[in-house]
Amino acid sequence: MNIPEIIEQRVAALLASMTLSEKIGQMSQVNASEGYAPDYLADGLREGRIGSVLNVVDVSIVNELQRIAVEESRLGIPLMVGRDVIHGFKTIMPIPLGQAATWNPAVVKQGARIAALEAATCGVNWTFAPMIDISRDARWGRIAESLGECVLLSSELAVAMVEGFQGDDMAARGSIAACAKHFAGYGAVESGRDYATTNIPETKLRNVYLRPFKAAVDAGVSTLMTSFSDLNGIPATANEFLLRQVLRDEWSYDGFVVSDWDSIRQLQVHGLTENDKESAFEAVSAGVDMEMAGDAFSHHLDSLIEEGRVSIERIDNAVANILRAKFRLGLFEDPYTNPEVLPPIASEDALQTAKQAALESVVMLKNDHAVLPLSAESLQTVALIGPLADAPYQQLGTWIFDGDVELSITPMHAIHSLVGHDLDVRYLRAMENSRSKASDSFDEAVEIAQSSDVTVLFLGEESILSGEAHSRADISLPGDQAELVRRIRETGKPVIAVILAGRPLTLTNIVDHVDAILFAWHPGTMGGPAIADILFGLESPSGKLPATFPRVVGQIPIYYSQKNSGKPASWDTIAHIDEIDTRAPQTSLGMSAFHLDTHFTPLFAFGHGLSYAAFEYHRIWTSSNEIALGDSITISTELTNQSDVAADEVVQLYVRDLVASITRPVKELKGFRRVHLKPGETLTVEFLLHTDDLAFFGRDMRITTEPGEFHAWIGGSSETQLRAEFRIVPNN
Ligand code: NOJ
């Protein structure tokens, strides 16, 4: 018998010996954040009424809870111990959106691996990550926790995270179960308000929102979490289409589904049910296996079964899914945690990975006249000004329950240690925080800037302004930051903005007042050294935007893979509100898809990111002009590093299906690769594309690749114009 068969046998044997109350116990997760093992918890464990706990990270308490479950309960079933280990445990990696800006699955996987190893030292064996909700609305605070707007980038990085958390062997010490969340559609909440409604047509759901989840399921993710949101009238936690039809019938998923925090009881608040009992009925019937931090299952499942409304088969199926995950994790063999056998917290390796991830996540949005990198040799004084230059907690970002702020190295400290011996580094916070409207320190800031060779402004938003339930309607720099920029600009000295934020911001009101912008997201523990190295040219920036930066909030949703529409905007068809003749006929203003008071393009496009090197893409070519369905094509480019700086570049491949039975995006990312080029080096990069990679769900909701004409582009951003064409023909 192979291991999966042995596990199935053990699941069946255990299930056969369980009482109904023990089964319902496995389906119930309890918040255990008290900091000790209270009596109700210990009793619940002894009586087999709890299958999982969350939010306990004291290893001695975790071991004690496991001991009670394993040694004092009738069946000795160990516990899943859950925690939000989202972008690091003690050592904090950049926020997931920043990690996505690396376009580097290897560093993302390593970051998740380190998070798993550190969390495992405290007995955590289950993280509620990765969050893989496609996010196309930067107002939504949870975009910080996402991997951005793109299906392919999110899917590949989702797989990297799952592999990092779960390791090569899930039963090995230091591997923890992952949880793909939030199933599904959460990123489409109306106007970016957290928890709000989503309305997503089925083709869009399948072609966009579900794809990263399918990738995570194929990669063996242990668990899935439902979304808080309402999807097309049925909240995700009661959504049979998602949880049964798609997940089980179509994808054959055999892991388990946990609700979000109390989201079962919230079905009543949504207006779907009258009371907790009906909520339990809807959720379990739809396919939720475990309830997080609520008591609808524990209070009502038994009577629902007694009344014959819920079948014992459904309960057995839910419990089997949960037990299977516990067996796969090796918990029955090894339920206890011995931190001594795991690598130490904040090891050299962990800090190095955090620094590498931060380095690769920084996106240089602009760099006029090559003002960057700064030269420690030719400068004498540098001014560091702004609320986020020395904010060790804020740079860590959202979701850092366990993050160790003591480990955090700020840009101010890192710059001092890097160049403090060679030049005069002057620091002024200038604003108490990013939201501050007090400008009393601005005169002093101007004086410092005036008497320095260059000013680096550290701007952005604190971590509290993004993340769960932290959405914003205005995503420009908060407080008086734009005014600070304007005042510093007036000195006539070079100004560089380093922006730390949990989302894309609208930078229109400052972009022309600074010479360079480094967008650093919330870069985590090692953000300071990474930013210092980039500012002073020890490393070249190499991050690329994982989400489009709008000019104004009214452009949202704006994303690179939009549809063409019947009247696409172009430079020839647009008009601007300041230039129009108000007496002109209504039909004279271009008549295309744009806003009169802004522009049809974003401020910075998806995939954009500059380098200290200069990459020239010479050409694009395909291995043939025509391929048959079922075959592959190679699409290649040759690029040269035309500079004397060695640097990474992220080479991106986009494809458009020109005519199809449903309208298709104007561009979809179909491949990307981070490559390193030495000065003067020329490299050929090839992408192998199978016709299945171009498949989509059409009118009949079946996934197919349709023959026809395709365009392919390769370049360093989604705005690349380097194009090739090919054709797919039926396979006779
Ligand atoms: C609610 C959040 O939506 C979810 O992402 C998180 O994992 C749980 N709370 C547990 O903290």
Q: Mark whether 572 and 664 lie in a shared domain.
A: no
Q: Mark whether 325 and 424 lie in a shared domain.
A: no
Average pLDDT of 181-200? 98
Smallest CA separation from ligand 1 atom 3, residue: 260
pLDDT for 262: 96
**Is 14 domain-assigned?**
yes
Decide which of 601, 627, 656 is a domain's last residue.
601
Q: Mark whether 506 and 591 lie in a shared domain.
A: no
**Is 551 domain-assigned?**
no
Does the CB atom of residue 483 touch ligand 1 within 6 A?
no
What would the pLDDT profile of 675-723 be if each residue is shown by its tens digit? 999 999 999 999 999 999 999 999 999 999 999 999 999 999 999 999 9
The conformation of residue 421, written as its DSSP 8-state character, comes to: T
**Is the separation of the CB atoms in 301 and 310 below 8 Å?**
yes
CA of 297 to the centre of ligand 1 (A): 18
Q: Mark whether 515 and 661 lie in a shared domain.
A: no
**Is 647 domain-assigned?**
yes
Smallest CA separation from ligand 1 atom 4, residue: 260
Helix (H, G, I), strand (E, B) or coil at 143: helix
E strands, 482-585, where? 495-500, 516-519
Decide which of 342, 363, 396 is a domain's last residue.
342
What would the pLDDT profile of 451-508 be if each residue is shown by its tens digit? 999 999 999 999 999 999 999 999 999 999 999 999 999 999 999 999 999 999 999 9
Average pLDDT of 394-398? 98
CA of 191 to the centre of ligand 1 (A): 21
Does the CB atom of residue 260 touch ligand 1 within 6 A?
yes
**Is 300 domain-assigned?**
no
Q: Mark whether 439 and 505 lie in a shared domain.
A: yes
Among residues 238, 162, 251, which one has the least CA distance to residue 206?
251
Q: Mark whether 502 and 571 lie in a shared domain.
A: no
When divided into structural domains, the chain yields a total of 4
**Is the separation of the CB atoms in 294 and 264 below 8 Å?**
yes
pLDDT for 303: 98
Does the CB atom of residue 194 touch ligand 1 within 6 A?
no
Confidence of residue 35 (pLDDT cuts 50, 70, 90): confident
Q: Mark whether 333 and 371 lie in a shared domain.
A: no
- pLDDT greater than 90 at residue 217: yes
Q: Which of 146, 225, 228 to mutate to test the pocket of ligand 1 (most atoms within 8 A of CB)?
A: 225
Instruction: Give the pTM.
Output: 0.98
The domain that holds 501 is classified in CATH as 3.40.50.1700
Smallest CA separation from ligand 1 atom 7, residue: 128
**Is 139 domain-assigned?**
no
Catalytic residue list:
260
CA of 89 to the centre of ligand 1 (A): 16
Does the CB atom of residue 133 touch ligand 1 within 6 A?
no
Q: Mark whether 485 and 378 lie in a shared domain.
A: yes
- pLDDT greater than 80 at residue 296: yes
Confidence of residue 402 (pLDDT cuts 50, 70, 90): very high
Q: Mark whether 578 and 510 lie in a shared domain.
A: no
Confidence of residue 1 (pLDDT cuts 50, 70, 90): confident
What would the pLDDT profile of 647-680 be if each residue is shown by its tens digit? 999 999 999 999 999 999 999 999 999 999 999 9
Cα–Cα distance for residue pair 580/219, rounded to 1 Å: 54
Q: E strand or H helix at 714, and its extent? A: strand 708-715
Smallest CA separation from ligand 1 atom 9, residue: 261
Average pLDDT of 403-423? 97
Q: Which of 31, 85, 128, 399 to mutate to test the pocket of ligand 1 (most atoms within 8 A of CB)?
A: 128
The domain that holds 722 is classified in CATH as 2.60.40.10
**Is 39 domain-assigned?**
yes
Domain limits for position 63: 1-82+311-342
- pLDDT greater than 80 at residue 43: yes
pLDDT for 493: 97
Average pLDDT of 57-70? 97
CA of 234 to the centre of ligand 1 (A): 20
Average pLDDT of 375-392? 97
E strands, 315-452, where? 363-367, 381-385, 424-428
Percent of the chain with pLDDT over 70: 100
Q: Which of 30, 133, 140, 181 to mutate to test the pocket of ligand 1 (most atoms within 8 A of CB)?
A: 181
Q: E strand or H helix at 685, and its extent? A: strand 682-690
CA of 133 to the centre of ligand 1 (A): 13
Backbone angles phi, psi at 574, to 5 degrees: -95, 155
What residues contact 682, with CB distance under 8 A and at least 6 apart? 638, 639, 640, 641
697 residue type, one letter:
F
Q: Mark whether 638 and 698 lie in a shared domain.
A: yes
- pLDDT greater than 80 at residue 732: no
**Is 43 domain-assigned?**
yes
**Is 189 domain-assigned?**
no
What would the pLDDT profile of 521-533 be if each residue is shown by its tens digit? 999 999 999 999 9
CA of 260 to the centre of ligand 1 (A): 6
